[in-house]
Structure 1
């Protein structure tokens, strides 16, 4: 996985193999309706577990001038097609699919009255990005997360 292909995207033949390890995470959260912007800084570890990878994220989130600890846990399990994954919440509920074999993937997730549309792009062996657009009656957000492989 050294050469970048089409449009600055790196194809990833095995998403679980690619993600395994520790990543530095920076995230901006923009409220398009209220013009507020938040910022997250932390780390994510994709650790092997019997059914795939356990994704554990921890850091600090600053919103409207207040900084608080923030964490999240997800499970990445093998998808129905080799090299892909199914992303699940910590309690096992489905979140979205993930297929980076072309270096880019778009996923959706309905959540009550809101809809989350995620775009995932791998730029090289040590960098990838997710952009979630969240729309609904009370939400109008864009969450942009950059991941940089550590060590």
Structure 2
């Protein structure tokens, strides 16, 4: 039996509301933080035009999910409200293309095996993400961020709210 739960359609799997718990560790300084909150993946019928993506094209994209995360981030004892928004666009064969809120490409996402490793260059930093699905109601991400100014590990657990 596989330790990962295959997901034939990532957008169908993610749709809905999830509880989120994220630990953030700065490996250089030893500082630690924590985010707790919720993530909602809601249907979007029309994203509108996206900015040019490096291929010389911009496109009108329909369908997908809007990912909105909100909660509280505690860093070195100081609690602050935090939120972010991403777009999950339909990809081939049940996969997705993840974009930032402004439409810039972030990473691909293929959970057909229940596990996916991806990357994202951000200025001089490199983000490497690993996504794993445990079952119908639990999945996790681990992002390792390395660069001249960053040496972080962000581990996030998601549990579906029913």
TM-score per shorter chain, which class?
over 0.9
Of 59, 82, 91, which residue of structure 1 is paired with 2:71?
Answer: 59
2:141 is matched with 130
The answer to whether structure 1 residue 98 and structure 2 residue 109 are counterparts is yes
CA distance in 2, matches of 1:145, 1:133: 12
Q: For the aligned residues, what is the CA RMSD?
A: 0.5
User: Which of 44, 53, 61 is residue 49 of structure 1 equivalent to?
Assistant: 44
Q: Which runs of 4+ in 1 moved over 6 A?
A: none
| SS at 2:30 equivalent | coil
The answer to whether structure 1 residue 37 and structure 2 residue 37 are counterparts is no
Q: Which residue of 1 aligns with 2:127?
A: 116
Once residues 64 and 93 of structure 2 are traced to their aligned partners in structure 1, the CA distance between those partners, rounded to angstroms, is 13
- Report the CA distance between 1:82 and its aligned residue: 1.3
Q: SS at 1:91's partner residue?
A: coil
SS at 1:82's partner residue?
A: helix
TM-score with structure 2 setting the length: 0.89
- 2:50 is matched with none
Give distance in 2, aligned partners of 1:82 and 1:11: 13
Structure 2 distance, partners of 1:109, 1:53, is 20
Per the TM alignment, residue 125 of structure 1 is displaced from its structure 2 partner at its CA by 0.3
Gaps of 5+ in 2: 46-62
Question: When the two structures are superposed, what TM-score results if normalisation uses the length of structure 1?
Answer: 0.95
